[in-house]
Structure 1
């Protein structure tokens, strides 16, 4: 299974830090955020990684290179205009499915998590489907996103919603029939949920959406203190 790390965001909530540095290259615990993803993917046996980028993307390519020093093969999907999450993934599909593979792992570049990745490599959603890792609602997102039923199915409506962690296994067929160049991922997931094609699991371990300077600083302190 290949993996994609989403790294094309502008990082507006992280300004002024992201005015000169792309968010994936911001450091916590003495290491760039995106490096934690790469290292954990390689440890799980995923060495073929695609990274999309836009804002200051040349810095990402210059820093990470071809991935050889991580034991990975990194390829890049450069975006010259904002494509949003869905558009960015669809643009990268030729790199993710160039050998006929179906499902692929996707990680948001601005999260930090100790979620085990190996179990996700065994997940194979049906064509047009997806598997989402959901977590308890953080204080800043109390309403949650989706409902995880006891049978493992995920729906968009109902009580006791959980938050989408930004970790998922997607299929290329999920993007069939979309003509727009730039589009969000959430409507596609809801469409697949309505067809009963989305499953989910609860996140195991630690998770943090590193979306603001305060969260970045707090995570840095936890890592340096050896609490993670």
Structure 2
């Protein structure tokens, strides 16, 4: 019986994460656009989930994305731990990257739960730790990929991850700085609005960072075909 390619090893984890996270961004954008809740060009990602009913869909899908992301990054952590237990600084980098993975997923849960139009400070705090921790995570994983080569991946994949890490790194700063400058939480913008330019820069860079994350996890798919994870259950004798 033929086996689907995404069932090889742990490949289903990054495959699901890439598809689901992309759908989270796109589905909510389309719904909000059709309802007239956002402008066509470059709203904030959070703007697509600021008004009901898309806010409910955005919260649910983003939370699932956060859990799928954590599961994928945990699997990656265990994989690197397995193949590189005694390779210099890799174990330390691996543990550090996983710590930032956890923080990033926690930040995404804040973004999913607290809409910007309701509790902006909490929402912005969650977005801040999500983006910063996410960028640090993919940078560390790129470094790990080079240090682990030729185990687990190819030079071509290392180069591709480097590109996504650089793009995310360069885009995250204008995302945060221009987002901080933009005081308004309005969902519809005109070119003559006071904060239009920083809003536009921040929104474009935000989408760039988000899809840099998506494409980075896409590079995990081939690698995750090479291993599986098992859970061992041990019963402790009662005293």
- State if a TM-score over 0.5 links the two structures: no
Query: TM-score scaled by structure 1?
Result: 0.31
Name whichever structure is richer in helix by fraction.
2
Name whichever structure is richer in strand by fraction.
1
- Between structure 1 and structure 2, the one with the greater Rg is 2
Query: TM-score scaled by structure 2?
Result: 0.30
